[in-house]
Structure 1
Amino acid sequence: MEKIKTAKGLIESNLSQNFTISQLARIVGTNEQYLKKHFKQFYGMTVFNFIVDCKMNKAKLMLKEKDVKVSSISQQLGYRHATHFTTAFKKFFGYTPNALRYLFAVFIDNYLAIKDFAMIYI
């Protein structure tokens, strides 16, 4: 199980890398079949799905920062083209990165307005 945990750690700490299963298996010192089988048993998802999950959740956090461009986020997460990242993001969450960024902006603006309004009446 230590090899499986090592593979998970490599994925999480190197999101800009596009690891293949054979690369991961070689790095942690096992074969592809062992890695695929035990990774899914231990974490409940395939290696590929875990990689995508990690990248998309990191992207979601990064999108809260207004000054970071979508193209920069896509590069930091190992996508060659921002359009590929946007397509993967939409497939994963059901909406585009810019739509999420807009929702964050609207939420924050509304939250600040309500907070200011409440302070007037306190």
Structure 2
Amino acid sequence: MMERVEVSHEMIALVGAGSVGDRAWPAGAIAIDYAFGGPGAAPTFRYHARPDRRALDADAAARLILIVCPAACRRIFGRLPAGDGGAYHMPAPIRTIALALRDCALPIAMRDTYRLAKSIELLCETFGLLVERPGELVPMIGEGQLSQADSQRIMAARRLIDEHWSEKLTLDGIARACGLNRTKLTRGFREMFDSTVADALAEQRLGEARRMLMATDLPVSSIGYRCGYLNNASFTRAFARRFGVAPTQYRACGVAA
């Protein structure tokens, strides 16, 4: 059974291998599960909005779990993280704190106080990412088949699309800019964002084109060019596939309404 550290009446930490046990948790608790990895497996952490004891017990490897009252998290951090159950690569600063907590070799009288303090520090650092800086989180892709570095490169590719969608972007150009080969970018992008690179780019361009059709008097061909389409025919085809009508018809219906 995992060792239990009583941090406060609102928080406990579970350390080591084995079952989480059946002792009471804080009411309506949330959980953060830290797995330290091993050969072929990267260190990860996972946020559980509704932790299930049986699910947590499914992993018997040595790990660390923080169990916290959600009211305390809202009081301290302002809100709870979005989402539930997503696994992320464990950043080095968080891993350092977690390992220090797990591997503390101080005498028992000192160890409890040390682990209590480290548990609070770990919770604060983790919530800083989950709540304040979620863009820094690197999701696990394909059961860890992509490294943390490659996952970060795929996230950089998404930022490139979101920020430079109006420029002449190609799959090969995006891959080169982000330090990936074409195959790894294509596979990883689909797994991370449930979208192809081309679809993500089109979504940005066509969304802006739709806005410009309603908000400006610019000719349709000029809007298509500004949104990254080299000619009016390709813009019209793409717009009609996405919205079901040609740009001119979309504008006419909007004006009529």
TM interval, short-chain normalised: 0.7 to 0.9
* Deviation, structure 1 residue 66: 3.6
2:180, 2:202 → 1: CA distance? 22
Aligned with 1:87 (options 234, 237, 243): 237
What is the CA RMSD across the aligned residues, in angstroms?
1.4
TM-score by length of 1: 0.79
2:193, 2:176 → 1: CA distance? 20
* Deviation, structure 1 residue 93: 1.4
1:67, 1:21 → 2: CA distance? 32
Does 2:189 match 1:39?
Answer: yes
Does 2:164 match 1:14?
Answer: yes
- Structure 1 stretches of 5 or more lacking a match? 108-122
Q: For residue 34 of structure 1, what is the amino acid of its counterpart?
A: K
Return the index of the structure with the highest Cα Rg. Answer: 2
Structure with greater strand percent: 2
Q: For residue 177 of structure 2, what is the amino acid of its counterpart?
A: I
Aligned to 2:218: 68
* Deviation, structure 1 residue 81: 1.3
Looking at both structures, which has the greater relative contact order when contacts are Cα pairs under 8 Å and sequence separation is at least 6?
1
1:66, 1:55 → 2: CA distance? 16
1:63, 1:2 → 2: CA distance? 35
* Deviation, structure 1 residue 16: 2.3
Q: For residue 91 of structure 1, what is the amino acid of its counterpart?
A: R
TM-score by length of 2: 0.40
Q: Percent identity?
A: 30
* SS of residue paired to 1:67: coil
Q: For residue 77 of structure 1, what is the amino acid of its counterpart?
A: C
Structure with greater helix percent: 1
Contact 1:17/1:78, CA 8 A, preserved across alignment: yes
Contact 1:15/1:54, CA 8 A, preserved across alignment: yes
Residue by residue over 1:60-113, the C-alpha shift from the partner in whole angstroms, topping out at 9 and shown as x without a partner, is 111112412211111111222112211211122110111111121122xxxxxx
2:200, 2:180 → 1: CA distance? 18
* SS of residue paired to 2:217: coil
Aligned to 1:102: 252
- Structure 2 stretches of 5 or more lacking a match? 1-150
**After the TM superposition, which parts of structure 1 deviate over 3 Å for at least 4 consecutive aligned residues?**
none
1:99, 1:62 → 2: CA distance? 14
* Deviation, structure 1 residue 32: 1.2
Contact 1:55/1:77, CA 8 A, preserved across alignment: yes
